[in-house]
Copies of this chain bind each other. A is one copy, B any other.
Amino acid sequence: MKAEIIAVGTELLVGDILNTNAQFLSRRLFALGIDVYYQTVVGDNPDRLTKAVSLAFSRADTVIFSGGLGPTDDDLTKETVASYFGVPLLFHEEIAEQITSYLHRPCSESNKKQAYIPEGAFILENKRGTAPGVILEHEGKTAILLPGPPRELLPMFSEMVEPYLKARSGFVMAERMVRLFGIGESSVGDMIRDLMESANPSVAPYAKDSEVTLRIAAKAQTQEEAEALIKEMHERLKERLGAYIYGYDEQDMVTTTAALLLKKGLTIACAESCTAGLLAGALGNIPGISACLNESVVTYSNEAKIKYLGVLPETLSAHGAVSRQTAGEMAEGIRKTAGADVGVSITGIAGPDGGTPEKPVGLVYVGVSIADAVTVRELHLIGTREKIRQAAVLHALNEIRTRLLAET
């Protein structure tokens, strides 16, 4: 099977948006064993889009489109592809109803445009937006139309397109994402260079947001054979990198740590300075977290650290707000104030200003207090203010996780 990817949108051609969809789709198609020889980006222009469609189908049997399924007049992908195949668009009342239900208001004239689907196409329901996806098979050619926003395209591909392509391919693929924390991509590369040369199962590292993820992919005749290949490689990775592995697949750091708290039935409270709520806010994204998280405080000023957490004024004057001592008192203070099982603190210098030679931008302390034992980790983070704050949150979650695992 040969495929091409066409991303539709003038915003891509003027450089407003990075074409992350093409990378995502290419990687997934590669993992499915489908060859991609060209990626194309074309604007919201009917003539040029038609030419791109025609060219792509002259070279490939399957073309995956992203974007151009929105409600406005310049969204033309569906209309252009239907017209290229000579297939009419038909109105689907049930899609209009889904859009109405999604928007909590009557479907507008603009949105009604999104309820028209090429005759004979499979409809891919969009649970995260108003544009349904489409799979249209016609005389040996297949057009797969997906909405442009990554948060709609990614799950739609994983949940509906991937199974469809797998069913067509005649073999099965299995994959596992192995999540690492506390090690960089180049060190991972040095430690598993030989394993990365394996073709089946394959192993590839991806670095993002202070984490490295290894993707194991295997191709086989049956699901069992593919899973066995995955398992074997997984064991070899555990031998080399076991200390850094914290989770698998969709279990990111916040999900993993929150699951541990929920499983153990422990309550947690956070006292945040430079992250100013991001740690509690991240935990708050886990459904059901209110069983663990009752309260937390943001204490930017010294006064707030004294008032809410009982940090000693002498500690602040002797060691400063960004210090091992203050972090420890903050963690213990919030645990006691909140009557929680786990108290966690973050205090640091996120920049861009406020650094000194002794306490440079990126110096962050993370404190964890459990049952009267307080531990404090000193971090030296790099990057922008935003990156330092986000990394501090991940390190705090990892500290909580490792303390909880050590407690058992």
Contact = CB atoms under 8 A, between A and B. Distances in A.
Contacts of A190: 108, 110
Interface stretch (A116-124, A163-171, A237-245, A293-301): A293-301
Contact of A39 (B41, B300, B353): B41
A299 B338 CA distance: 11
Contact of A301 (B42, B294, B308, B382): B294
Given A22-B41, A304-B295, A285 B389 contact: yes
B294 A300 contact: yes
Interface in A282-297: 283-285, 287-290, 293-297
A357 interface: no
Question: Chain copies in the assembly?
Answer: 2
Given A13-B30, A71-B185, 15 more contacts: A15-B22, A15-B25, A18-B19, A38-B52, A72-B185, A104-B380, A128-B383, A272-B277, A278-B278, A284-B298, A285-B386, A288-B353, A290-B301, A293-B298, A295-B297
Sorted nearest first, the 4 A-B pairs with minimum C-beta distance are: A276-B284, A15-B27, A277-B277, A15-B26
22 contacts: A12-B26, A15-B25, A18-B23, A19-B22, A70-B185, A72-B186, A73-B189, A108-B187, A128-B384, A270-B298, A276-B277, A276-B281, A277-B298, A281-B298, A288-B353, A290-B300, A294-B300, A295-B297, A295-B298, A295-B307, A296-B298, A297-B308
Interface of A: 10-20, 22-30, 36-43, 45, 48, 52, 55, 70-74, 102-104, 108, 110-111, 128, 149, 185-187, 189-190, 193, 196, 204-208, 215, 217, 270, 272, 274-281, 283-285, 287-290, 293-301, 303-304, 307-308, 338, 350-353, 362, 380, 382-386, 389
